[in-house]
Structure 1
Amino acid sequence: MLRISAVVCRNLVHWRCAAVMAVLPRSFGAGGSAAILCGVRDIEAERAKEDQCNLSEIMVKRLATLVGCNYTNTPNQLNGCINDVEAVQAVLIDRFGFQSTGIKLLTDAPNSSIKPTGENIKRELRNMINVAKQGDLLFFYFSGHGTLISSTDDAIVPCDFNLITDVDFRVLVNRLPEGAIFTIFSDSCHSGGLIDKEKEQIGPHSSDRELRPENVPNARQKLIPISSIINSLRSISGRSSDEPVSAHLTAAFGNEASAKYLPQSFQSHELKPLGPDNGILLSGCQKDEVSLDIPRCDGSKAYGAFTYDVLQVLKVHRGPISNRDLVIRVREKLREKRHKQHPCLYCSDKNAKLPLLLETARSSE
């Protein structure tokens, strides 16, 4: 990470001013030279401020973990999730100032070096949290299946079915250093509320329930019912199908199971909201809804409906856009297509107004 002190900027101002004085004709006299020099100093002072602002942007770490699960050759197969990850990676680099070295990709593609198991995903997220400092920006993107454990508990489904729950994300947010921001995109079913007890900004209370879903041929819901997850885990957990998913997860994955089922391993303050925080969730749908995986059509790639429309909004809106405005615009696009999924925003009042991923006018040019 590049660090350049303000001394460099000040020295640059002095050097430029001296260069100007050296080439001024003597006919200007002392008064004229002084006036010109003052003007040069004013201009250079503004340039120095801009240089310092640019340097502060460079010094901010931007780290991302991007996960795509297609579950290929299983009954739960999706088609567009790895495509989603590749598209998101491109826009992070091209528009939002992320470096490829600061982005970790976890997909279940055959040639993937790091598979998106529950353990691997949580390890990468913990690594981001552990190196974050004040002012840093962390981003987690997930495209794959979600599941509803109960009417109030939701989770994403890694490729090994070691569920990562809303409580796990609460623990991560509570571990953020002060001033760091953690933004989560989840293009999965039942993803609304994926940070446990985070404040709803746009959600079930602002839905358009009168819409009918569009009939998209061969579209798949990004959902695996909890009963199917239990049946899939039985072979490695050794537990009965009538036992709760918690018994299967702790038996199969031990200490790598969700924090929801291992409360004794965490301090109480790690599991509860601490007031307004810097966790930001943009979800593909509400907790009681499904997100769609749209099949390829006319030679195009398969994609997640939520992710596709996020990228379309960003393509049209070239300047910074707030988290709130992005979700509103994506909702409008999905409404136009009559997709019955309503993206949500969960975060503090302050963070709802923040530009997505702290984009500045300069970085979007």
Structure 2
Amino acid sequence: MEKGKKMALLVGCNYPDTPNELHGCHNDVLAMREVLIAQFGFNSNCIELLTDKPSSLTLPTGANIKKALNEMVDRAEPGDVLFFHYSGHGTLIKSRSYSTKKEEAIVPCDFNLITSVDFRQLVNRVPKGATFTILSDSCHSGGLIDKETEQIGPSSTTQTSFLSTSYKPKMIPFQSIMQYFTSLTSINTTDIGTHLLELFGPDASLMFHELEPISKPLKPDEGILLSGCQTNETSADVEIMEDGRKACGAFSNAVQMVLKENSAGPLSNKQLVLLARKILAIQHFGNQHPCLYCSNENADAKFLCAAEKS
């Protein structure tokens, strides 16, 4: 099989005709697809796009997203570049009913949550010498790869308010999710895992299955997370002025702006996140601080470039 493959899964969830509807997530992944092809040399046949448009043949359900991610990791070989861009809602959940600790999760169109434990399991399977980059434009996305090393984290910058009249946080409150699941299962419990297992069975997050603990690697791994905000922050779904009004995720748009403005030469993962932070501050989204989680080596590695041989 060809070495040095570049593979991508792009997922945009707008949740149409629901109380949680967003407007820019489909635009985010469509724009990212163009950037990947034009600027990073991705073959269009190696980019899978999942959106919850009414016309979509395959919806971005939890099972479908995890199936596509697992297939991508299964095909990976040393020297390959794997990329997952998610634009949609995120949430914080309790890992167990008896625990106060909260974990990050993304919210597929069917609410079958994909948690930080699921992403850790995926990263643990990536072969040495490949890279797996996740760009998550969702609320509470810091730490979405469980136990990944923080490179760019909380900021001491004075926070400002969102000035956009079209701002909407990309977050579904935990209580709203619980009410939704309870209406479907009729089970009287605050343990979200019980509801997920009842509704989705083996397709529910690994976090809630009785499995051996997924341990932290003893050395740096191949996971790279660019998160739209810190764990305790929200990411914005906004409208910006660009040839009229364009709905988009503030972080996705900032990343795409940085990449286009620096198309002459590759940026490191650290440079990309820091420059995206500056754009969000200029656009008055200063209370959203993108973060970077990865090994020291990958922090300085070029964004979406094959790992250099040591």
Tell me how far apart the structure 2 counterparts of residues 174 and 287 of structure 1 sit (CA, whole Å).
22
After TM superposition, give the deviation of residue 184 of structure 1 in Å: 0.2
The amino acid that maps onto 1:289 is: E
Whether 1:72 and 2:72 are equivalent positions in the alignment is no
Partner of 1:354: 301
* Alpha-carbon spacing, 1:173–1:359, altered in 2? closer, same or farther (3 Å): closer
Partner of 2:262: 317
Greater Cα shift, 255-264 or 168-177: 255-264
1:1-365 aligned within 5 A: 59-150=3-94, 152-204=102-154, 207-240=155-188, 242-264=189-211, 267-268=212-213, 270-295=214-239, 297=241, 299-318=244-263, 319-339=265-285, 340-358=287-305
Contact 2:142 2:229 in 1 (8 A): yes
| 302-311 or 290-299, larger mean C-alpha shift | 290-299
Q: Kindly provide the CA deviation profile for residues 71-110 of structure 1, in whole angstroms up to 9, marking residues without a partner as x.
A: 0100000000000010000000111111111011110001
Whole-angstrom distance in 2 between the partners of 1:272 and 1:352:
19
Q: Does the 8 Å CA contact 2:5/2:80 hold for their aligned counterparts?
A: yes
CA distance in 1, matches of 2:160, 2:73: 41
Q: Is the 8 A contact 2:104 2:116 kept in 1?
A: yes
Contact 2:6–2:81 (Cα < 8 Å) also in 1: yes
Distance, in Å, in 2 between the alignment partners of 1:75 and 1:278 is 37
Task: Tell me the percent identity.
Answer: 52
For residues 168-208 of structure 1, give each alpha carbon's deviation from its aligned partner in whole angstroms, at most 9, with x where no partner exists: 0000000111211100000000000000010000012xx03
**Which amino acid in 1 is paired with 2:141?**
S
Residues 206-256 of structure 1 deviation map (CA, whole Å, 9 limit, x = unaligned): x0342211321021000001111111122333322x422111111111111
Higher relative contact order (CA 8 A, sep 6+): 2
- Measured in 1, the distance between the counterparts of 2:174 and 2:215 equals 23
Give the structure with the higher percent strand. Answer: 2
| Mapped partners of 1:182, 1:292: distance in 2 | 25
In the superposition, the TM-score normalised over structure 2's length comes to 0.92
1:201 counterpart SS class: strand
Which amino acid counterpart does residue 132 of structure 1 have in structure 2? A
Residue type at the aligned position of 1:196: D
1:327 touches 1:345 (CA, 8 Å); kept in 2?
yes
| 1:4-46 C-alpha deviation (Å, 9 max, x unpaired) | xxxxxxxxxxxxxxxxxxxxxxxxxxxxxxxxxxxxxxxxxxx
Rounded to whole Å, the distance in 1 between the matches of 2:102 and 2:147 is 10
Could you tell me which amino acid in structure 1 is paired with residue 262 of structure 2?
A: H
User: Could you say which residue in structure 1 is the equivalent of 2:98?
Assistant: none
CA distance in 1, matches of 2:107, 2:127: 27
Q: 1-side partners of 2:139 and 2:69: how far apart?
A: 21
CA contact (8 A) 1:60 1:136 kept: yes
Aligned length: 298
Over residues 257-282 of structure 1, what are the superposed CA-to-partner deviations in whole Å (9 max), with x where a residue is unaligned?
11111142xx44x4433421010000
Which amino acid in 2 is paired with 1:188? S
Q: Is the 8 A contact 1:198 1:273 kept in 2?
A: no
TM-align CA RMSD: 1.6
- TM-score, normalising length: structure 1: 0.79
Write out per-residue CA displacement over residues 318-358 of structure 1, whole angstroms, 9 at most, x where no aligned residue: 21000000101111111122211000000000000010001
CA distance in 2, matches of 1:343, 1:219: 17
Contact 2:81 2:306 in 1 (8 A): no
Distance in structure 1 (CA, Å) of the matches to 2:192 and 2:46 = 35
Paired residue type of 1:353: D
